[in-house]
Amino acid sequence: MSHCESHHEHDALLCILPPYMLENLAEHGTAAEKKLARQALADASAVRAERSAIASRTTRSPRAAAAVAKRRTIYSANNGTQLPGTKVRGEGQSATGDASVDEAYDGAGATFDLYHDVYSRNSIDNQGMELISTVHYNQNYNNAFWNGQQMTYGDGDGNLFNRFTIAIDIIGHEMTHGVVQHEANLVYQNQPGALNESFADVFGSLVKQRSLNHTAAQADWLIGAGLFASGVNAQGIRSMKAPGTAYDDPKIGKDPQPAHMNDIYTGSGDHGGVHINSGIPNRAFYIAATQIGGYAWEKAGRIWYETLRDKLAANSDFQTAANETYNVAGALYGINSAEQQAVRNGWEAVGLSVAGLGWQTNRLVRYVFSTYASKSAYAIIEGVSGWLKVHPESADGVSNVLKALEIAKAFDRRVNVYLQNINGANCITRIYLL
């Protein structure tokens, strides 16, 4: 098993390269490449256990942030595996001339700045956490990872992979795994794990776009462009715009990412497809961001960030993410706004219909009732000379409210729907358009 692979969702490190790429290389590479791939796939149980312990005691970040102070510290493992290694550059110190050191430093700064300047977040944990990075990890190591408390980057083998600090979105990706850990702490398995990977790709890409001052239309939407050495048939590790097209090479294999729920991977490999299936929410974000237009970090990024921060939990799946990003878009920019419609379009393009609160249809009102356990409910129908209050007949309030919705639909009226949860406390008040 690799540093990035285990049989338990809390034991896996969060690596930029998916295990199936290294497995392909271990089978189809040269003798030297196979050896390095097997080395990267070697068991690292002590490191996995460390991350497991850290993640298990991580709590959601408090909203009251500590004093803001960017604190970057770069270490070198000197081609060994002891972390963090030897300190080589601290905050405010001059460039060293070592490309890996200086890229890790600058990339950590760009990621900090995106989260702080755009989303008012104070470092990974929102409490000013020190940003620790280790470069020159192991010998010719083909990967980068977040271990629960720091970023670590290999030098690559120089034949297939360049150094892993060469792409700033890789740095943003690994640091965002830390943000996810301190917010939703999405379980690294199946759809929650794919969302974990997708959020890391989204904000990794936004770090790159902001550093280049690229609009959504100008961005390449590739993750890891520049990582592969010449001669490898690869644009990057993943394409958010066109999942499944990032690479097709005899040694590393073909990009297996799906772009639609019809093609979702359901096997047990890759922790249930955490890297594979991240292509689905990645494309949803790409479509939403490009339809909104402008700089993707400003509106689309804010919708995704506030959803991660406030709405998702450890076991949230794609449908939950679709519903909640749609709701957040409505709360931020208005019900039926262009931004909210772009989010809807993004998710529908990958095969997920949103079931958000707000202006919806009768079908989705029924879905809301089936989602929230209701002790009682009633509907108020807009009339010519006021509002008609209709009380429920059934125990959970569904049947008569749905009758009220049909009445309103016939007269093209609005309906205000009130629900109570199972303990009797008011839990939802929303207006629905039929």
DSSP label of 220:
-
Please enumerate in sequence order all residues whose Cβ is within 8 A of that of 130, keeping only pairs 6 or more positions apart, or say none. 71, 72, 73, 123
Is 391 an annotated catalytic residue?
A: no
Among residues 9, 23, 33, 174, the one annotated as catalytic is: 174
84, 215, 290 from 73: Cα distances, Å: 10, 31, 35
Cα gap 421→434, rounded to integer Å: 24
Instruction: Report which secondary-structure segment, H or E, holds 320.
Output: helix 318-333
Minimal CA–CA distance to 141: which of 76, 230, 204, 203? 76
Instruction: Collapse the DSSP code of 73 into the 3-class scheme (helix H, G, I; strand E, B; otherwise coil) and give the result.
Output: strand
Please enumerate in sequence order all residues whose Cβ is within 8 A of that of 231, keeping only pairs 6 or more positions apart, or say none. none
Cα gap 208→37, rounded to integer Å: 28
For residues 268 and 279, is the Cβ–Cβ distance under 8 A? no
Minimal CA–CA distance to 289: which of 339, 235, 227, 351? 339
Among residues 173, 275, 324, 339, the one annotated as catalytic is: 275
Please enumerate in sequence order all residues whose Cβ is within 8 A of that of 353, keeping only pairs 6 or more positions apart, or say none. 322, 347
Active site residues: 174, 275
